[in-house]
Structure 1
Amino acid sequence: MRDNDGVTSALEAPATRAHAAVPPRLIATDLDGTLLRDDKSVSPRTVAALAAAEAAGIEVFFVTGRPARWMEVVSDHLHGHGLAICGNGAAVVDLHEGPGHHRFTMVREVGHANARETVRLLREGAPGTVFAVEQTYAFHQEHAYPSIHVERPDTYGDADELLAPGGVTAPLPVLKLLAFHPALEPDAFLALARAVVGDRVTVTRSSPTALLEISGPGVSKASTLAMCCAERGIPPEEVVAFGDMPNDVEMLTWAGQSYAMGNAHPDALRAAGRRTAANNEDGVAVVIERILAELP
């Protein structure tokens, strides 16, 4: 059942989920397909809602698969407030000083040797897979990797050479591997990759294409968010989370209150306790406005 603001108020939730009206202390929101509209803009309504939440003492975390250098899309619109968990949990970045001055406060790397072995396993399990390597301050890709990002890589080369001891990636941590397959269906590629690599790494996806995002073992949006919340003494039941894709599933499951967007992937819809309006309809703002209106 949906109310006038487009929020589903009576979705069946997992039995372990608490839906008591606990005033939240932290909002954790995905960006693409969630907070951002399809044109990558942040609506004035959403900007105002996030500012009002922070004014009410509710901390805002942006939790995204994006690398840190792509966070201007948020800080340009939102005046640099908030923290960002980037790379699906691989790094925490302080945005308070504004564009061009982002500071890493936590790094959870894949590890070069682990990345090399993951590449080997995926090449064997899914021939034709091509790779890119995301680092704290660099990006590298194979020549056959598609031009689906907004930037040119720092280096082109075979993934084995890029990740080799003493190679171009050696000086910096590897935050994430990107694996693309030109023929496989996205969810099928995700299932195959998870079966092939096991718990060596964390594999997820947020793209509509067969592009997988590979982080270190145990690294996810949820696990890094949990670390950040523990540092602040914030339990899961005082967190409200928003997301739309498989890389949001763990976070939506972990948070005490969670909302999948109206445009969400079926996995995100199943993981979330509730559903809000689509990203193009300011679904995050709709919920935040309601939360603020219900504060004592």
Structure 2
Amino acid sequence: MTSATRRPETPASTVPTRLIATDLDGTLLRDDKTVSDRTIAALGAAEQAGIEVFFVTGRPARWMDVVSDHVHGHGLAICGNGAAVVDLHGGPGAHRFVKVRELVPDTALDVIRLLRSEAPGTVCAVERTFGLHLEPGYPLMHMEPPEIVSPAEKLLGRNALDADQPVLKVLAFHPAMDPDDFLTVARAAIGDLAGVTRSSPSALLEISGPGVSKASTLELCCAERGIAPAEVAAFGDMPNDVEMLTWAGRSYAMGNAHPAAIAAASGRTAPNNEDGVAVVIERILAERL
């Protein structure tokens, strides 16, 4: 499920929302990475109304403590842009993987070599289920120190120290290219070998297994629950949300969203710092009265 063509929105009055799928950074979270009281209340009210809430993010599972206190009994998150589904019920530090859609290490290495060829100066990091490992020269821009610093050939080798852990995604950084230009070059170079997207304001790409995206994993989870696209309301702000915003029956780009997300969504809401997700959830709940 990779199409970025908007389908006609189903009238809200005829298809009640059964699931809310929301991105985190730049969407549900404010810029200071907090969840506002209004948003916490809206999530709780949705749960009480029988609407399931999924957090759908590029973050790895270990960065999900920021919302663990606000899952209201649902406790599921799609992490790594669709590479993993994580059960948050255990609380901070006790998250459990329930689905993993890995990037085969040999494919990851092929992708890195293509990027080096088409965009010289690219440096990469490898995200496995329980740790982030960097190439020398990759900037320290993430929430944690790396566990291993080594060339990609060693990070992805069969004898790597963590070779028993699935690769969830590769992060590719370019120090000089325009972010959208880097994305265009990478997609042309990589083709169908892997999925390529971005969510950072810098030239940082996120590379997943072929066919893996927020949308494709959300689609799998919804099918398991008998939930149709028309019954889903989705929220996002960056190119890595485009497929999800396209797939959902109702979708909203934040007031602070990237133009690609705005084009993909069926509607817009207020910026993340003005509780745009809560604004729409309150409206959805009012429609039920």
TM-score, shorter chain, exceeding 0.5? yes
Which of the numbers 127, 131, 136 marks the counterpart of 1:143? 136
Q: How many correspondences in the alignment?
A: 284
Ranges in structure 1 where 5+ consecutive residues have no aligned partner: 1-12
Report the Cα distance in structure 1 between the residues aligned to 2:233 and 2:84, rounded to whole angstroms. Answer: 20
1:59 maps onto 2:64 in alignment:
no
Which of the numbers 98, 101, 105 marks the counterpart of 1:112? 105
Bigger mean CA offset, 248-257 vs 115-124: 115-124
CA separation of 1:32 and 1:80: change in aligned 2, threshold 3 A: farther
**Which residue number corresponds to residue 9 of structure 2?**
17
Which of the numbers 248, 255, 270 marks the counterpart of 2:241? 248
Q: Is 1:46–1:285's contact at 8 Å kept on the other side of the alignment?
A: yes
Identity rate, percent? 70
Q: Tell me the C-alpha RMSD between the 2 structures.
A: 1.3
Post-superposition CA distance 1:93-117 (Å, at most 9, x none)? 0112211111100000001111111
Report the Cα distance in structure 1 between the residues aligned to 2:71 and 2:217, rounded to whole angstroms. Answer: 22
**Which residue number corresponds to residue 127 of structure 2?**
134
1:223 maps onto 2:216 in alignment:
yes
1:264 maps onto 2:253 in alignment:
no
Ranges in structure 2 where 5+ consecutive residues have no aligned partner: none
Query: Hey, which bits of structure 1, 4+ residues long, moved more than 6 A?
Result: none
Post-superposition CA distance 1:128-148 (Å, at most 9, x none)? 000000011121001200010
Listed as ranges, the matches of 1:1-296 within 5 Å are: 14=6, 16-21=8-13, 22-78=15-71, 81-296=74-289
Post-superposition CA distance 1:183-231 (Å, at most 9, x none)? 0000000000000000100000000000000000000000000000000
Report the Cα distance in structure 1 between the residues aligned to 2:203 and 2:28, rounded to whole angstroms. Answer: 23
Post-superposition CA distance 1:38-75 (Å, at most 9, x none)? 00000000000001101100000000000000000111
TM-score normalised per structure 1? 0.93
What is the CA-CA distance between 1:80 and the residue it aligns to?
6.6
CA separation of 1:17 and 1:81: change in aligned 2, threshold 3 A: closer
Report the Cα distance in structure 2 between the residues aligned to 1:234 and 1:155, rounded to whole angstroms. Answer: 41
What is the CA-CA distance between 1:19 and the residue it aligns to?
3.4
TM-score normalised per structure 2? 0.96
Report the Cα distance in structure 1 between the residues aligned to 2:138 and 2:257, rounded to whole angstroms. Answer: 27
Letter of the structure 1 residue corresponding to residue 201 of structure 2: P
Q: Is 1:91–1:105's contact at 8 Å kept on the other side of the alignment?
A: yes
Report the Cα distance in structure 1 between the residues aligned to 2:179 and 2:225, rounded to whole angstroms. Answer: 37
Report the Cα distance in structure 2 between the residues aligned to 1:253 and 1:281, rounded to whole angstroms. Answer: 24
Q: Is 1:47–1:78's contact at 8 Å kept on the other side of the alignment?
A: no
Bigger mean CA offset, 80-89 vs 267-276: 80-89
